[in-house]
Amino acid sequence: MELEVIKKEKFSILKLSGDVDLYSSPQVRKKILSLITKSNKNLLVDLAEVTYMDSSGVATLVEALQLTNKNSGTLRLYSLRDAIKDVFELSRLDKVFNIYENEEQAFEGM
């Protein structure tokens, strides 16, 4: 798993790639906690290169969602591959997260 951060004026972008699972999600969590601050409370997560996500990975995104909600910020996920989309749809988490098809749509209104 690899991660890359791009900081914009009003939000940060976290690009994840590879497997987000029990072993890699602590690293993702650490990064997310450092990115969501009171001054920069909006986070966009690019999942285009994520090939596998287990429930530990999903829990990390749930924590990010709870944190942005608490800070009145926004969390958006975008460019999910079909296998990752299935993970969210099967557990009905597509109803919980703001999920966008691509970067352009995810950036709209930010």
Partner 1 sequence: MNEIEQLQYKLKNLTSLIDVTSIISSTLDLEELMNLVMEKAQEVMSAEASSIMLLNEESGMLECQIALGSVQEKVKDKMQLKVGQGIAGWVAQTGESVIVPDVSTDTRFFSDVDQNTGFKTKSILAAPLKVKGKVIGVAEVINRLDSLPFTDENLEIFTTFCRQVALAIENARMHRFMLEQQRMEQQLESAHQIQQSFMPQSFPDSENDKYLIYGTNIPATAVGGDLFDFVEIDSDHLGIVLGDVSGKGIPAALFMARLISDFRYYCHIAENPVELLNFLNDALLKRSHRGMFVTLVFMILNKETGHLIISNAGHLPPLWYRQRHKKVEIVDLFSGIPLGIMPDVDYNEYMIQMEPGDALLLFTDGVTEAKNSKKEMFSLNRLIDIFKKPKKKPQLIIDNIVKEVRGFQGTGNQHDDITLLAVRWQECKKSKLQQLIQSK
What is the contact surface with partner 1 in residues (CB under 8 A)?
22, 29, 54-56, 58-66, 69, 90-93, 95-96
Q: How far is the CB of 67 from partner 1 (least distance, A)?
A: 9
Sign of the alpha-carbon torsion through 83, 65, 110, 5: negative
Between 54 and 103, whose beta carbon lies closer to partner 1?
Answer: 54
Between 12 and 60, whose beta carbon lies closer to partner 1?
Answer: 60
Tell me whether residue 24 is exposed, middle or buried, using C-beta atoms within 10 angstroms of its C-beta: 0 to 12, 13 to 18, 19 or more.
buried
Q: How far is the CB of 30 from partner 1 (least distance, A)?
A: 12
Concatenated DSSP letters of 24-58: THHHHHHHHHHH--SS---EEEEEEEEEEE-HHHH
Between 60 and 79, whose beta carbon lies closer to partner 1?
Answer: 60
Between 21 and 103, whose beta carbon lies closer to partner 1?
Answer: 21
Distance CA(40)–CA(2), nearest Å, equals: 22
- Number of Cβ atoms within 10 Å of the Cβ of 88: 20
Q: How far is the CB of 103 from partner 1 (least distance, A)?
A: 24
Q: How far is the CB of 53 from partner 1 (least distance, A)?
A: 11
